[in-house]
Amino acid sequence: MFRNLAGRIWAIVGAVSIRTKILGIVLGLVLLFGMGITLQARNSIIGTMTRQLEEQSVSISRDLAARATDSILLNDLLGLHDLLNETVENNSNVRYAFLVDARGQVLAHTFDGGFPAGLLSLNDAEAAEHHHTILIETDEGLVWDTAVPILDGKIGVARIGLSDASMRAALNTLMLQFLLTILLVSVTSILVAVFLTWILTRPILSLVTATQSVARGDFSPRVPRWANDEIGDLAEAFNKMTGELAHTDELRREREALRRQLLEKVITTQEDERRRIARELHDSTSQNLTSLIVGLRIMETNCAQCAAQSKTTDLRQVAARTLEEVHDLSMRLRPRVLDDLGLAAALERLAAEWQARHKIPVDVAIQLDERLPGDVETAVYRITQEALTNIARHAQARSASVLVERRDNTVRTIIEDDGSGFSMTEKRGERHLGLLGMRERAELLNGSLTIESTPGRGTSIFIEIPLPERVSAPPAKEST
C-alpha cells in the first residue's frame, strides 16, 4: 500500500515540469523556514513578555503596598483612593487595583461599578510570602493577579490585575510583520527562482527541440553553449554528436544514392537486354522457326507417298512447340504489348496466360485513364508478374485478384490471394528474395510496398508509387 501510494505521488510529481519543481522546492523551503522561524519567535516572545508582565505585576504591587502603608495606618481612605487611581493611570496595563485590611475587608478599589463578587477569594498572600500571583481568564484575555502583603500582612494586602492586552497587541503586530516579511521573501524567492529556472531550462528546452529535430532526421540544429558548466558541456557533446550523425547520414545518403543508381542501372540494363533478346527471338528465331514449319508442311504435302512422311510430321510438331516456347519466352522477357498498348493490356494478357497455365482464377481490375511513365509501367508489371509467380509456386491459392488504380498523382496496386499465407517473421529463401526484389523496384521510384499475410488466411500486397505529374500518352511504337 505504501509503495503504491509512493508510486502514485512520484508519478504526479514526475509529470510536473522542471520549472514547476524548482519553484515548488524554493517556495516550500521559504514557507517552511518562515513558518518555523515565526513559530519559534512567537513562542520565545510570548515567554519573554509573560515573564516581563509577571515581573511588572510584582513590581507595581510591591510599590503600591509600600506607598499605601502610611495611608492605611492613618486610615486615610481618600489618600488610598488617590493612590490606586494614580497607579492605574500611570500603568496602562493595570486593569484594577484594591487594598484589603488584615481582617479581609476591602479598604479601597478602582472598580466603577462596584467590587466584583468572588474576586477577593481568588487570590491571597500569606504573611511569609513575598508575593502570590495567579492567572485569571476574563473576556478581555488573561489577567495577572498579584497579591503582596503589607508589613508582612499585619495591616493588609495590596492586589493589582495586570492585563495581557498590550502583549497580545504587540505580538499580533510582530506576527503581522513576520508574515509580511515572509510574503516579501516568498515573492522575491519566486522571482529569483523563475530567473534561475529560465537560465537552467532554456538550454534544456533547446536540447529537447534539437533532439526532436534529430529524431525526425534533421541533423542541422546546433545548441548554443550557454555557460561553462555541466549543461554547457552537454550542449557541446550534443553538437559533436549531431555533427557525427550528420556526417554519417551524408555518407549513408551517398551510399544509398550510389546503390539506387546502381540498382536503377542494373534494372534498366536488364530491361534493355530483355527487350533486345525478345526482339531477336521475335524477329529472327521466330521467323526462322516459322519458315521451317512452312517448309516441313510443304514437304509433308508434296511427299504424300514418302516413307519419311511421319518423320516430317514429327519435325513439324517439334518446330511448332519450339516456336510456341520461343513466343512464351519472348513474352516473359519483355512483352511487346507493354510497349505498344500499355500497362492495362499487358496485365490483362499476363493474367489470362497465368490463369490458363496454372488453372487458378484471377480477377483483374485496372482503372487507368491514360498511359503511365515507362519506368512506372515496367515496375508495376514486374512486381505483379513476380507476385503471381509466388502465388503459383507457394500460396496453394484457389483464386487471386489484381487491382491497379490511379488516385491523383499516385498509382496504387493491390495483389491478393486466398492461399496458405506465411508468417511475416520467417524468411523463406526464394520467396524472400522475390519480395525483396519487388520492394526494391517500388522504392527505386520513391514508392512503398507493404505485405500483409497470416498463415492460413492468404496474402495481400499493397504497392504505392508516386507520379510527379500527369503525363500524356506516349506515341505507340510500330509493331514489327
135-184 pLDDT tens trace: 888 777 788 888 989 888 888 889 898 888 877 888 888 888 888 888 88
Residue 438 has a pLDDT of 86
Residue 401 has a pLDDT of 94
Fold adopted by 17-176:
Beta-Lactamase (3.30.450)
CATH superfamily for 342-480 is: Histidine kinase-like ATPase, C-terminal domain (3.30.565.10)
Residue 478 has a pLDDT of 38
The residue written with cell numbers 499585619 in the block is: 154
Residue 480 has a pLDDT of 31
Per residue in 405-425, pLDDT (tens digit) is 998 889 999 999 998 888 876
Contacts for 143 with CB less than 8 Å, ≥ 6 apart: 95, 135, 136, 137, 161, 162, 163, 164
Contact 98, 159 (CB under 8 A): yes
Ranges of residues in the chain whose predicted pLDDT is under 70:
1, 7, 9-16, 267, 270-293, 295-296, 299-300, 302-319, 321-335, 425-433, 469-480
* Cα four-point dihedral sign 424, 428, 431, 435: positive
Find, among 472, 268, 275, 262, the residue nearest to 379 by Cα: 268
For residue 374, what is its C-alpha cell?
A: 515507362
Cα dist from 29 to 10, 13, 33, 42, 141, whole Å: 19, 17, 6, 19, 35
Cα dist from 135 to 109, 146, 160, 362, 402, whole Å: 19, 9, 12, 109, 104
pTM for the structure as a whole: 0.42
Contacts for 456 with CB less than 8 Å, ≥ 6 apart: 420, 421
Residue 16 has a pLDDT of 66
Instruction: Write down how long the chain is.
Output: 480
Domain ranges of the chain: 17-176, 342-480
Residue 305 has a pLDDT of 56
Residue 271 has a pLDDT of 66
